[in-house]
Amino acid sequence: MKDRSRSSSGTKRRVGQDQEGTAHRGVNRSDWLLDGGTLKVMPAGWDHKEPILLLIERKGARPRTGRVLGVGVQADADRLPLTLVGLAFGTYEMRWMTEDHPVPVSETVTVTIDAENREPSLELAVVAPQSR
């Protein structure tokens, strides 16, 4: 991967990749070999009335690398399933949440991305928020 970022300064981190680099003011170039896969998640049964958020947590990741990622899906979304490219090999827990008030609207499922399973695809049912 060639990264030609413009940055003021500081350390740059990639979500889910255990690699770090330093960026300086101006044009920067880094060549990193990223090993990982693509995850596709379909929000089954979603009514498209309110936006939702897929919350993903990488289990066992080092604390300073990207461990949690939230990806929103707008109510008028027409490009489904949600496709996440470049996730590092590892085990992830994920669930759908309401976007405005973080309330789970699905069960939590676990998926592993590895050399034998580089492109997992799943349907994760969206249900109404549970009242407390």
Per-residue pLDDT tens, the chain, 132 aa: give them: 334 333 343 444 444 455 667 778 888 887 766 678 999 999 999 999 999 999 999 988 766 556 788 899 999 998 899 999 988 899 999 999 998 888 999 999 999 999 999 999 999 999 976 444
How far is the C-alpha of 19 from the C-alpha of 37, rounded, in Å?
Answer: 16
Query: Any idea what the CATH number is for the domain that residue 109 is in?
Result: 2.60.40.1120
How far is the C-alpha of 36 from the C-alpha of 21, rounded, in Å?
Answer: 18
Pair (42, 107) in one structural domain: yes
Residue 56 is assigned to a structural domain of this protein: yes
Pair (46, 19) in one structural domain: no
How far is the C-alpha of 71 from the C-alpha of 15, rounded, in Å?
Answer: 12
- Looking at the structure of the chain, the number of domains it has is 2
Residue 130 is assigned to a structural domain of this protein: no
Angstrom CA distances, 120 to 26, 41, 73, 89, 127, stand at 38, 9, 19, 12, 22
| Helix, strand, coil percent content, the chain, rounded in steps of 5 | 0, 55, 45
Pair (27, 40) in one structural domain: no
> What is the model's pLDDT at position 11?
41
> What is the model's pLDDT at position 88?
87
Q: pTM for the full model?
A: 0.70
Domain of residue 26 covers 2-31
